[in-house]
Structure 1
Amino acid sequence: MTRRATLAIVLAVAVLAVGAFVVIPRVLPPGPRPAFQLPVACGETWILGTYPGHDDYDIDFFPAKGSAWGRPILASFGGTVIEAGVNGTLGERTPQNPKGRRGSGAGYWVKIDHGGRWDTQYLHMLEPPLVEVGDEVVTGQQLGRVGSTGKSGAPHLHYEQRAARRKVEAHFDGEAAGITTDDREYSVRRKSRNCAGPAASE
């Protein structure tokens, strides 16, 4: 075998190895579903809703009582922060100017990797997140506050659970959320049992 042929074989093996390193994790199934909790304060009841065009499995959270502005947004399970900051543009909606110009995208947001190819996303925060990329968080840790930044018509928390990069029906405290398709406007009520972590003692 010539030196050139040997080099070609070595390069081909290297390319295949790199390809396998990149592709195989993307096709592996997700691990067991983490024990997610509602991303809101312990004991509070919230309305979880959706509407046509919202996208399947996306959930908008509104408190059953009182104003949404500034309510704590909590990690629904522990993990590593992989996104935190601004997605799109912020717009001008604040508690003092609730009808201000809308922004685009998620506004202030956080994304958490929970391991096993599971992640969660928290959108439209009022102000910069309280966590940074690389931070390790625990269930119940405060990530930010409810706002209306980005493409948002009113203060709320837009929340998603994803498995292997695909949105799935969210589960909280071991039960399905009940928000699946976006073929109509509907909502459910759920009480938070997210009573662990730093937020529970504050």
Structure 2
Amino acid sequence: MTVDGMPGEAGRRPRPARRLALAVALTAAFALLCCTGGAAGMFFDAADQGEIFALSASDCGEGGPVDVNGPMPSVASYSSSQLRNAAVIIRVGADLKVPPRGWVIAVATAMQESTLNNLPHLGTENDHDSVGLFQQRPSQGWGRPAQLRDPAYSARKFYQKLLTVKGWQTMPLTEAAQRVQVSAYPDAYAKHEPVATEIVNLLASGAARSVRAGEELRCAGAGEVAASGWTHPVPGSVGSGFRTGGRPDHHGVDIAAPKGTVIRAAAAGRVLVSQCDPDQYGRLSCNVDGSPAKQGCGWFVDILHAGNVVTRYCHMVEKPLVNEGDRVAAGQQIGKVGSSGNSSGPHLHFEVHRRGDRSAAGAVDPVPFMRQRGAAFGKAT
């Protein structure tokens, strides 16, 4: 159910437990920080909703949304009718020339509100008079009940409200969705972002890896935030890869960059850690250049993102620009490249952890993870 911010309604009631149980949850327990471990990333395995499609890394939405009346693929636990509703949402966004980031936000919102089912009025189980994919309320001016049961109409109304939200493309998905929905559960949308991104990629030729350039879509470039909500932390290619033969305990990738190069948050999230990593002697010596004989990340930051993904940024030149608990936007400056800690020269050591596990056990290769989200690095050397 949604509220349009109109007079006569201060908020919304909690959704009945039976309805909430329909939502797809991506949850994981946090592990203790292990600074000598690493992290990286990839698409979730079968236990984490699965990598549900195969696309070339060059696919960035040029093919457009799929035929909403054609056959639907199998995606996680979603039926053909649910995926058809997602296809309608994407098609309406494309017709309105809404950037693909809006398609991801809209699909994730409908996943939370209705699990992509076009719900009728549910009588005593209903949350006020909300109906349809987005649980919009006729009494709040969204439209007549029959109109709101039309997926194309309800999607159009969602996009029209979203486009009035200043800065919606760069804010966290859950915040943008909440500005439209005014939900009693403002953080509920975030957990759907990873699967919503995959659905948009599947149904729209990899559009979640794109940005809009005039009338066309193209792959996101360095410094641009893709529709997935991800971007490059620093420009450049991978110089030392993930767990190579020569460095099996290298749980991230190294990207060479001049000292002082801006480091940006790879996606929106919340800062978990912002500190100096002690060396092997327990000393906090991050304000000087490190060496290969030293241990630790030096100055580093960990950020928690949607889907319980954690990214790590090591060897900063000075104290990070963000603090524990800060909310950051995708592309926001969080620090500068340096050579503190276990480092032989200026570079960013970048890691991604899954399931919220910040130890080495949660480490996966950042290269395919970032490529799937439209923020591909150059090849490792």
Amino acid at match of 2:319: P
Does 2:190 correspond to 1:187? Answer: no
**Residue 111 in structure 1 maps to residue 111 in structure 2:** no
User: Aligned residue for 1:39?
Assistant: 233
Matched, 1:77 2:80: no
Structure 2: state its 5+ residue gaps. Answer: 1-26, 31-46, 50-190, 196-227
How many residues are aligned here? 149
* Cα pair 2:304 2:310 within 8 Å, conserved: yes
Deviations 1:10-47 (Å, cap 9, x if unpaired)? xxxxxxxxxxxxxx84398486276432101xxx4434
Cα distance, 1:48 vs. partner?
Answer: 4.1
Aligned 8 A contact 1:80 1:137 in 2: yes
Alignment RMSD, CA only?
Answer: 3.2
| 1:172 aligns to 2:370 (yes or no) | yes
The two structures have a TM-score, normalised by structure 1, of 0.61
1 or 2, which has the higher strand percentage? 1
> Relative contact order, CA 8 A, sep 6+: which one is greater?
1
For residue 101 of structure 1, report the CA deviation from its aligned partner. 8.8
User: What displacement does 1:136 show?
Assistant: 0.3
* Deviation of the 1:92 alpha carbon: 7.2
- The within-5 A match list for 1:11-90 is 25-26=28-29, 29=48, 32=194, 35-40=229-234, 44-50=235-241, 51=244, 52-53=246-247, 55=249, 58-63=252-257, 68-89=258-279
Unpaired segments ≥5 residues, structure 1 = 1-23, 180-185, 189-202
Instruction: Select the structure that is richer in helix.
Output: 2
What residue is the counterpart of 1:159 in the other structure?
350
Q: Secondary structure at the match of 2:277?
A: strand
Aligned partners of 2:297 and 2:324: how far apart in 1? 16
Identity score, percent: 30
Q: Structure 1 residue 107: deviation in Å?
A: 0.6
Alpha-carbon distance between aligned partners in 2 of 1:155 and 1:115, rounded to the nearest angstrom: 29
Cα separation, partners in 2 of 1:102 and 1:131, compared to 1, 3 Å? farther
Aligned to 2:313: 122
1:55-100 Cα deviation digits (max 9, x unpaired):
365100114xxxx111111000010000001112354785xxx687
Alpha-carbon contact 1:102-1:153 (below 8 Å) kept = no
Larger-gyration structure (1/2)? 2
- Whether the aligned pair in 2 keeps the contact of 1:93 and 1:102 (CA below 8 Å) is no
1:132 aligns with 2:323: yes
Cα distance in 1, alignment partners of residues 239 and 370 from structure 2: 12
Does the C-alpha gap of structure 1 residues 178 and 139 become closer, same or farther in structure 2, counting only changes over 3 Å?
A: closer
Shift in alpha-carbon separation, 1:57–1:103, aligned structure 2, 3 A? closer
Indicate the SS of the match to 1:26: coil
